[in-house]
Structure formats: structure tokens, C-alpha cells
Chains A and B, each alone.
Chain A
Amino acid sequence: MKELIEKYGILVSSRLFTINDQRKFSEFSGDFNPIHIDKILARKTIVGERIVHGIHGLMWSLNEFFKNDTLVVNFFNAKFHKPITLDSPVFLFWNSQKKKLTIANESTLFTTITINFGNIENNNKKFDIKLGYKLTEPKNLSIKECDELGNQEIIYRGNVNVGQLLFPELFKIYGSGVIAEIALTSEIVGMQMPGLHSLFISIVGSIFDSSEDSIFRLEDYDLRFGVLKIKMQGKHLKSQIEALNVASSTAVPSVKHLKKFINLNEFKYVDALVIGGSRGLGELTAKLISCGGGRVTISYNLGEADAKNVQKEILASGLSCAVTQLDITSSFIFPLGNFNQIYYFPTPKIKIERNVYFDYQLTELYKKYYVDGFKSLVSEVLNRKILASIFYPSTNLIDYPSKNFSSYIKAKAEGENLCQQFNKLKNMRIFFPRLPRVATDQTLSVTPMHFHDAIEVMLPHIRNISHDLYI
């Protein structure tokens, strides 16, 4: 903490953001984008988990600041460097020389807010924003579609009473009109422009009173990165918003498409348990084996609906697939079946590490999946005397180390080591090839990246493991 104070200024406040806090802010702002509140859908986004609304962090910071200071802020420049995830402690600092509020913790800088003080002329604190019903789901617009919209009317679709409970200091100073307008910028980005696949990255706002205008529009954009610049002229807030229209989840090819790559009945002797088979490489493996006439049981941890969809697609093609729940990171019941192959794909979101600090939490998270979970699985296989070949996907980043993935590489190398040790045991056959980076939900990135084709990567390995079944 001492280092953080030296770096960012005096400690103003600290807190955790919980799912209940998130729901309240959604209610207040009208921004119900699933990345903030839906555990399952948020897994498939670029962040891989639920995140705090950027504007929620901004409003909390200002509210905490005003508990100790009576000066009025009439300008703010907020940058959301990294999304704040739920249930992790964050700290708010104030640097009076730089007039800067910072939200950070020991390993991550989340948000910086530079502010200016000044009067707000004729601040009569009235609420004069047009009201509307909340959108039932976020729009999902391309940048071109956003551009075609032109000027859009600003409508407040939240519940201002909830906001008063969340940010009482802000309401006291500014009144409900200003505060509702700051909150609804979150709704503009998260629900409307571009909506579903958005990330709020910065806002520069001037608070005043008052204007007749009440519009927002796309002012500029960069199609390569999906960057949108939105101009908003509200009754009390004039702002420039920067947002990203990020890649949506990477869909695994359909069974119909995959059949083209598989010989008829080439996997007919395979009875596979695919752990983590509800999406990504696990889903692809399950589909490939099914297409070759094999039987598959796919397990999911949280994504029941995803797993059921995969099953539905496989069954609809007249192929075989069962579904079971299994959380490899806690005690689990091993699924029933005469499996001769087990594929191990459980993984958290794989993050690019560009932090200056060593990310202890991330390392522990990777180890939980790639080392401890795998150890539990093999122990079960040994206890139950199951004679199955096991597939453990390692990474070629071990051959080409990158500082950006050091925690990931470390955990995978430890997993490889474990495979080598287990392979010394009688009847144990673990395959642990070093796979290149392929495009899945877990490897989505905002920067353009080169990925290998997942079918070309996985199919030779499935054939290799299945080879012995024919001898």
C-alpha cells in the first residue's frame, strides 16, 4: 500500500464491487449489458468475466471524493485503462497536485480521472431529461450502422431513485439531472452504440446548466480496431466518449462443416470424455469425434446452455453426445462411462500480461486449472482404474516464451511436468503436445492477432490418439 500511496497520492477509499452493486447500477443507468451482470455470457466476451461499468467506477470515485471535499467539479477526463472485475478489492487515491483520482490495486491500474474545479452556472438541479422505458436487450450494431444513425435523442431509461442511494453526495451537489446524464452515457455505449460487444474506454465531460440540445451521435471511428468516438450534447453534460466495438465470441464450426474433414466412421471405436467440451477447442474436439462416428460425453462447469446447444447440434446430425456437469477446480464426481479417451480443456480466460508487476493472482488461477485440476483428474482415473488415453493441451509458447504470457507458460510447463511424471506409471498414456495459438473465446483480443486454424491443429492429434484403438 505504501508504494501505491507514493505513486498515486492519498488513499481516499476502498471497496469491492459485488454483483448486487452491479445490478443496482444497471437499474440506475439503464445499462444492462451482460458483460456487467451475466456470469455465463460474460465468459464469452473479450474480458472473460463480469466487469464493473466504467461509469460506475467514475461515479463512485467522485462520490467518495465529495465526502471529503466541498469544491465542485465541472470537468472530468476519465480513462478506463483496465476493466474492474467483481469481488476484488480496489483502492481510490487522490493526487491534489495533478488533480487526479486513481482506482488501482497492487497489480493493476484501472481508472484515472483528471478533474477541474469551478462553478456550475445557474445550477437549479432540476430533472429535465426525457424519460423512456429500459431496453430489454442491448442492440448489436456495427460501426457502419452506428454511423448511419446520425443524431440520436438522449433518453434516460434508468431509475433515478436507485442512483440517489448509490451516490448521495453527487445528488446533493449536482441534482438528479446532471447525475442521470453522466449515468446514461453507460447506457448509450452498452445498450445502443454499439451495444452488446462494447467496451467503454474513456470519457471527457464538462458539466454545465443548461442546454436545449439533447443528442448524441457517432463523430468518428476506426474500423481496424473498432474504435468509436461518440459526441454527446446533453442538457447538463457535454461529453466525448471513446468506446470499442470488440470481437464477439469465436464460433466453433458446425457439425455439417466439420464432416467434410472426417472420414466416415474413422473414430467409431472412440468413447471420449471431453472435459470443458461446451466451447472452444473442447467443443471442436467433441464435434470432430462425433463426426467420425465416436461417442462423446462433454462436460461443462458453468455453461450448461452452451453444452446443451453443442449436444443438440450433434444429436440433430444423428450422432452421439451426452452432457454432464463437472467443476475440475473443486471435488467432483467422475462421470460414468467406458471412456477410452479423455480430453482436458478446462481453462480460464487467457490474458495478455503487460503489467509491470508479477501477477500472483493470475498465476494461481492458471495453476488451479492447468495443474491442480489435472492432477485431480488423473488421480480419479487411477483410482477407478480407467484405461483411457489422456490429452492435455500444452502450449508452444513454452518454445517461444513471451513475457506477455509468463504466468500462463509457467502453469502449462508445470502441467507438462506432471504429464511426464504420470506417464511413468503403468498403463498411463498422456499426450501433451504444445499447441499453437488458435482462435477461441478464451483467446479473443482487441489487437489484431494471427491464429492457427483450430481444425488443422486438433484433428491430427485426435487421429494420433485414436490410432492405437485400431491395432
Chain B
Amino acid sequence: MKALLQQHKQYLLTGVSYVIPFIACGGILIALALAYTFQCHYVDANGGPDPTQAPVFVQDMLKIGGKAFELFPAVLAGFIAYGMAGKPGLVPGFVGGFIAAMPQTINGKTASAGFLGAIIIGLIAGHVTNLLKKMPVPKIFKPVMPIIIIPILSALPVGLIMLTLNTPIATIMVDMGHVLESLQNGSQIVLALVLGAMIAFDMGGPINKAAFFFGAAMIEQKNYAIMGACAAAICTPPLGLGLATVLSRKRWTEEQRESGLAALGMGLIGITEGAIPFAAGDPFRVIPCIMFGSMVASTIAMLGHVGDHAPHGGPIVLPVVDGRIMYIIAIVAGAFTTAVAINSVKKFTEKSSSVEGVKA
């Protein structure tokens, strides 16, 4: 059972690895186009950005980004199935995912089965394809199996299943959106704390990716607050640890001070992995401190109504962030929390342990 879950996690991560560049391209192009529209005061009656007044190039940018986003569920489902069944999985996966991307009207709101539908149908497509591959066939039919029989026999049932699931799953997505929107301060803080802790815990590993992907998927559903909270949490572990080496040089070895500078650079471009050299040598003191810092950052960002339109974190995404001041405050506060925490922890524990940072 555990091995089976492990395997399915690997399938999902395969899909995620192929879809991340699509979300990045779509998210950033859309956000830049909207930011430009807004900055130049092309606004509609409600004060929102109105791209129809913007230059043609900006409108095109919005269209191109929108198309990259529309592909998101198809690519996700396609490569989940590819991870399970190889090349033959691509057809049912892409077709099923493309159906999941179809916009529908639910209770007057436009929504799609989106990433949730894509994950489910991708897994189904993989299993269906694997079953078909096992089908015993006479030698004479072997060549037509992969180019005619399997594509049709897999895409047809998978498509039918997705068409059936489409409205129920889209309804779940709409409800989920309602729940996220209706979260009051208390539960918002809980959500932000959990996201921050997950982001920092394994510094870019599977737990971090789960939180990150939740945020990225919510961008597609036009909820930018989740990614906003993640974005602030993503960069604080490397920034905080780098800051710690600068604030209290004598507590760190020459080598650590050097990786501290590298960590600052990585933090600025939103790569949590920059914290790993520190955590690998001293996990029991470093990981709690970076989790604490990231939780502070994500909570401030969430309460400050920070929204992030790009599936990436750190100061580098500032141009496409809503609530920039609060975003900066969240990052600075999180980084200082991490830095002060790790330096104090080192101060109080160093006397007893003289072997600092060598137990790699």
C-alpha cells in the first residue's frame, strides 16, 4: 500500500515537473500585461484594469499568456499519464486534461475542473493505457496497436469519464474558491502558518512542492493570495540564513560565511534550496528556525492581502505582486526572524557543543 502511494506520488511529480514552465510563462505574461494596463490607467468603470484600451502588443501578451495557461491541465494530465505508461499515455492524458480545462458556468461563475480534474484524469488515463498495453494481441495486429488501437481505445473511455466528472469537479473547485475567500482572520492565519511551515521544512523537496503547487494551481483559479503567502515564505530560509552570517560573523566558519553570500543571492531569486548547505550540516537547529521565519513571512503576507500572479517566490517576482509594500515587509520580517532565531539558538547551545557544523 505504501509503495503504491509512493509510486503515485512519483507520477504526480512527473506531471508537475513538465507543467511548471507552462504556469511560469502564462502567469508572468498575464501579470505583466495586467500590471502595465493598470499602471497606465487603462481602467474600466469599476477601477479594474481594462486591457481592451491597452496597446495591441499588451493585449497580445495577455492572449499568449492565457493560451499557455489554458494548456496547463492538458499538459499536467498528459505527463502524469506519460510518467505511468510512457508514450502511449500521452493521448488519453492530453485529451482528458484538455476536457478538464473547458470553461463551464457554475452558479453564474465561470470555472473549470482545472488542476484537480487534470490530476484525477491523468491517473485514470495512465491506468487505462497500462491495461490496454497488457492486452494480448495476434502478432499481425502488433504494429497498429500503438498508432491506432491504443490511442482510440484509451482516449474514448478516458474522455467519457472526464466529461462525466467535469461538472462535479468544477463545482468542487468553485466551492473551494468560496471557502478560501470566506476564510476569516483566524483560519487565514492557520492556513498561512501551515503553508509557511511546509515551504521551509524540506527546502524545495516534495513537501515544499505540495504547498507550492497548491498556490500555483490557485493562480489558475484566479486566487492569488495562496501563492502570495508561499512566495514570501519561499525566499526567507536562504535570505534569513545569509543574513545571520552577516549579522554575527564570529558564529560562523569561513566556509559558512561564503555559502551565506550564495544563500542571499539564491534567496533574492526565490530559490529555497539555497538554505540546504546550512540545514544539511545542522538540521536540528536550522530547520526549526527557517520554518519559524517562513511562517512569520507567510502570515504577514496573507494578512497583508499580498497576491502573487506568478508561480515563483522571492523579491524577483515583485513586479507581478499585489500589495508590494506588505510583501517586502513580510520578507524582511521573515528573514530577520530566521536570522535572529538561528543566531540565538547557536548562542545558547554552542557552549555545550564545540563541534559546530562539521557533522555533515
Q: Do A and B bind each other?
A: no
